[in-house]
Amino acid sequence: MSVKANVIDISQRSGISTAPLDGSEKVYVRGSRDDIRVPFREIKLTDTPNRTPGLPGTPNAPVLVYDTSGIYTDPLVEIDIEKGLPAIRADWITDRNDTEQLSAFSSQFTRDQDEKAFDIPLFSHRRLPRRAKPGKNVTQMHYARRGIITPEMEYIAIRESMGRAAMHDAGTLPDGNASHITAEYVRQEVAEGRAIIPANINHPEAEPMIIGRNFLVKINANIGNSATTSSIEEEVEKMVWSTRWGGDTVMDLSTGKHIHQTREWIIRNSPVPIGTVPLYQALEKVKGVAEDLSWEVFRDTLIEQAEQGVSYFTIHAGVRLAHIPLSVDRITGIVSRGGSIMAAWCLAHHQESFLYTHFEEICEIMKAYDVSFSLGDGLRPGCQADANDAAQFAELRTLGELTEIAWRHDVQVMVEGPGHVPMHKIKENMDLQLDVCKEAPFYTLGPLVTDIAPGYDHITSGIGAAMIGWFGTAMLCYVTPKEHLGLPNKDDVKTGIITYKIAAHAADLAKGHPGAQVRDDAISKARFEFRWEDQFNLGLDPDTARAFHDETLPQPKAKEAHFCSMCGPKFCSMKISHDVKQAFDEKSAEFKAAGSKIYQEV
Amino acid sequence: MSVKANVIDISQRSGISTAPLDGSEKVYVRGSRDDIRVPFREIKLTDTPNRTPGLPGTPNAPVLVYDTSGIYTDPLVEIDIEKGLPAIRADWITDRNDTEQLSAFSSQFTRDQDEKAFDIPLFSHRRLPRRAKPGKNVTQMHYARRGIITPEMEYIAIRESMGRAAMHDAGTLPDGNASHITAEYVRQEVAEGRAIIPANINHPEAEPMIIGRNFLVKINANIGNSATTSSIEEEVEKMVWSTRWGGDTVMDLSTGKHIHQTREWIIRNSPVPIGTVPLYQALEKVKGVAEDLSWEVFRDTLIEQAEQGVSYFTIHAGVRLAHIPLSVDRITGIVSRGGSIMAAWCLAHHQESFLYTHFEEICEIMKAYDVSFSLGDGLRPGCQADANDAAQFAELRTLGELTEIAWRHDVQVMVEGPGHVPMHKIKENMDLQLDVCKEAPFYTLGPLVTDIAPGYDHITSGIGAAMIGWFGTAMLCYVTPKEHLGLPNKDDVKTGIITYKIAAHAADLAKGHPGAQVRDDAISKARFEFRWEDQFNLGLDPDTARAFHDETLPQPKAKEAHFCSMCGPKFCSMKISHDVKQAFDEKSAEFKAAGSKIYQEV
**Helix, strand, coil content of chain B in percent (nearest 5):** 45, 10, 45
Distance, in Å, from the CA atom of A305 to the CA atom of B259, rounded to the nearest integer, reads 66
Could you tell me which residue, A10 or B342, shows the higher pLDDT?
Answer: B342
Q: Residue A154: what residue type? A: E
pLDDT at position B570 is 67
Residue A582 at interface with chain B, using a CB cutoff of 8 Å: no
Return the closest-CA partner of residue A455 out of B245, B521, B74: B245
In this complex, do B454 and A536 lie within 8 Å of one another by their Cβ atoms? yes
Distance, in Å, from the CA atom of B173 to the CA atom of B168, rounded to the nearest integer, reads 7
Distance, in Å, from the CA atom of A24 to the CA atom of A6, rounded to the nearest integer, reads 8
Distance, in Å, from the CA atom of B532 to the CA atom of A485, rounded to the nearest integer, reads 9
pLDDT band at A596 (very low <50, low <70, confident <90, very high): low
pTM assigned to the model: 0.94
CA distances from A175 to A158, A161, A217, B91 (A): 7, 9, 22, 77
pLDDT at position B565 is 64
pLDDT at position A166 is 55
Return the closest-CA partner of residue A95 out of A135, A134, A147, A148: A148
Mutate to test the interface with A, among B21, B253, B580 (most CBs of A within 10 A): B580
How do strand A195-196 and strand B24-30 relate by DSSP bridges?
unpaired
Nearest-neighbour CA in chain B from A421: distance (Å)? 10
3-state secondary structure of B331: coil
- Nearest-by-Cβ selection for A520 from B451, B485, B585: B451
Contact A197, A273 (CB under 8 A): no
Find the distance separating the first CA and the last CA of chain A, reported in whole Å: 51
- Per DSSP, what are the bridge partners of residue B426? none
pLDDT band at B569 (very low <50, low <70, confident <90, very high): low
| Res A230 pLDDT > 80 | no
Distance, in Å, from the CA atom of A353 to the CA atom of B3, rounded to the nearest integer, reads 44
Contact B419, B381 (CB under 8 A): yes
Contact B122, B114 (CB under 8 A): no
- Per DSSP, what are the bridge partners of residue B388? none
Residue A387 at interface with chain B, using a CB cutoff of 8 Å: no
Q: What is the mean pLDDT of residues B401-416?
A: 98
Distance, in Å, from the CA atom of B92 to the CA atom of B98, rounded to the nearest integer, reads 11
pLDDT, chain A, mean:
90
Q: Quote the percentage of chain A above a pLDDT of 90.
A: 78
Distance, in Å, from the CA atom of B565 to the CA atom of A330, rounded to the nearest integer, reads 24
Contacts of B322 in chain A (CB under 8 A): 600
A430-449 pLDDT, tens digit each? 999 999 999 999 999 999 99
pLDDT at position A559 is 77
Lowest mean pLDDT among A18-22, A289-293, A440-444, B307-311: A18-22
In this complex, do A524 and B578 lie within 8 Å of one another by their Cβ atoms? no
Contact A284, A260 (CB under 8 A): no
| Res A11 pLDDT > 90 | no
* Angle subtended at Cα A338 by Cα A235 and Cα A464, rounded to the nearest 5 degrees: 80
Return the closest-CA partner of residue A444 out of A424, A472, A425: A472
Distance, in Å, from the CA atom of B542 to the CA atom of B3, rounded to the nearest integer, reads 13
| Res A526 pLDDT > 70 | yes
Contact A267, A309 (CB under 8 A): yes
In this complex, do B521 and A585 lie within 8 Å of one another by their Cβ atoms? no
Residue by residue, DSSP assigns B217-240 as: -EEEEEE---SSPPPHHHHHHHHH
A378 is in an annotated binding site: yes
pLDDT band at B279 (very low <50, low <70, confident <90, very high): very high
pLDDT at position A595 is 63
- Nearest-by-Cβ selection for B568 from A255, A498, A568: A255
Nearest-neighbour CA in chain A from B411: distance (Å)? 28
Distance, in Å, from the CA atom of B368 to the CA atom of B307, rounded to the nearest integer, reads 10
pLDDT band at B513 (very low <50, low <70, confident <90, very high): confident
Q: What is the mean pLDDT of residues B551-561?
A: 78
- Nearest-by-Cβ selection for A576 from B325, B344, B460: B344
Q: What is the mean pLDDT of residues A581-591?
A: 75
| Res A171 pLDDT > 60 | no
| Res A172 pLDDT > 50 | no
Distance, in Å, from the CA atom of A152 to the CA atom of A199, rounded to the nearest integer, reads 9
Contact A333, A327 (CB under 8 A): yes
- Nearest-by-Cβ selection for A553 from B348, B486, B581: B486
* Angle subtended at Cα B446 by Cα B423 and Cα B479, rounded to the nearest 5 degrees: 140
HSE toward the beta carbon, residue B221, CA cutoff 13 A: 29
For A588, nearest residue in chain B (alpha carbons)? B325
